[in-house]
Amino acid sequence: MGLRKHFIGAAALLALATAMPFAAQTARAQDLPVEPGVFKLAISPWLGYGMWYIAQEKGFFKANGLEGVELTNFVEDKDMGAAVAAGQVDGDNESIQQLLAKVQAGIPIKGVLLLDASTKADAILVNSDIKTVADLKGKQVAFERGSTSDLLLNYVLQKNGMTIDDVNVLPMPAASAGTAIISGTVPAAVTYEPYISAAIGADKNIKVLAEAGEAPGLISDVLSVPEETLKKKPGQVQAMLKSWDQALDYYRVHTEEGRAIIAKGVGAEPADLATAFDGVSYYSVSESQKALNGVFKSDTYPGIVKAAIAAKLIDKDIAYDAAIDPTVAHSK
């Protein structure tokens, strides 16, 4: 998912008329004064962050009182982390494990909104010799260290009473992992879309052993906001949340157009992202709040932390309240 993947006339009048109800609805919902200035948002080319592109394209940021929103692209997480630590951005989009790494490093930041979760866009692929997770014992497994693939593999192994030491790790980029299982170089690979569909399409003997949707929210992204921003710009943060919701409302009604806007934002063609779109679900603010105060907190988060420690993405337990603040959207 972006950095988490190490990855990207009459018609006009009709479009305007369609967009107006969304703008009016959001404007009425605004209940906090929006501080002046531009909100600087760190982003990477992953479709899970796509509602920000729609919000920019459709003018939803301005409709919610924001003077402007600057979407700043980062390729490396270390650069994004440095920008956050230096106070150069007001928020960033990242995977849960990246947020945990920042919190462990002492960066004062909180995850305030679940943006998206992978359901079928991340998976463990196996050849016909492997029927169960237990069959992975002693086998070579290709995957990208430090990525969502690492997290997924460790989670699935732990769930089945195994550890990463039970398999032979073959580190490689996700694209190469997909190629490796197609060529028969390895019996198992952990990767993500579009490489999942490519591998299954290339060899009917390649099957999905496990996928991210088996643990809802395991492979997910959040909007993270530095505590300084939460303190000094609460109105801007609320306006950003409203803009996300407004964009998601628009996307759910105009999905084809929304996907085209997102694809343009990440520098791809919509057709190339079709399987990835289908394997990801987006959260509205209310859906995020329900999860952050419910099953994500009680079930998903502990599993993420445990898997992240096993994958050596972090080296100690991190309390939920140290990383997540579900109260930010309460006044929305």
Q: What percent of the chain clears pLDDT 70, i.e. is strictly above it? A: 90
Q: What is the pLDDT of residues 304-322, one digit of tens each?
A: 999 999 988 999 999 999 9
Q: What is the pLDDT of residue 76?
A: 74
- Report the pLDDT value the prediction gives residue 16, as an integer from 0 to 100: 30
Please give the domain boundaries of the chain with CATH numbers for all domains.
2-117+217-331 (3.40.190.10), 122-214 (3.40.190.10)
- State mean pLDDT over 250-257: 98
Question: Could you tell me which residue, 313 or 168, shows the higher pLDDT?
Answer: 168
CB 149 within 8 A of CB 178: no
Angle (CA) 192-197-200 rounded to 5° is 115
pLDDT at 19: 40
pTM for this model (two decimals) = 0.83
CA–centroid distance for 317 within its chain: 21
The pLDDT value given to residue 2: 44
CA angle 327, 331, 332 (to 5 degrees): 105
| CA–CA dist 115, 232 (Å, integer) | 23
What is the structure's pLDDT at 330?
Answer: 64
Residues 225, 91: contact at Cβ < 8 Å? yes
Residue 13 has pLDDT above 70, yes or no: no
Reported as a pLDDT band with limits 50, 70 and 90, residue 194 is confident
Task: Give residue 106's Cα distance to chain centre.
Answer: 22
DSSP single-letter state for residue 300: I
For residue 102, pLDDT over 60 is answered with yes
Report helix, strand or coil for 88.
Answer: coil
Query: Count of alpha carbons within 13 Å of 20, Cβ hemisphere only?
Result: 6
**Mean pLDDT, to the nearest integer, of 109-117?**
97
Higher pLDDT, 26 or 158: 158
Q: Quote the pLDDT of residue 280.
A: 94
Distance CA 153, CA 305 (A): 13
pLDDT band at 253 (very low <50, low <70, confident <90, very high): very high
**pLDDT at residue 289 greater than cutoff 70:** yes
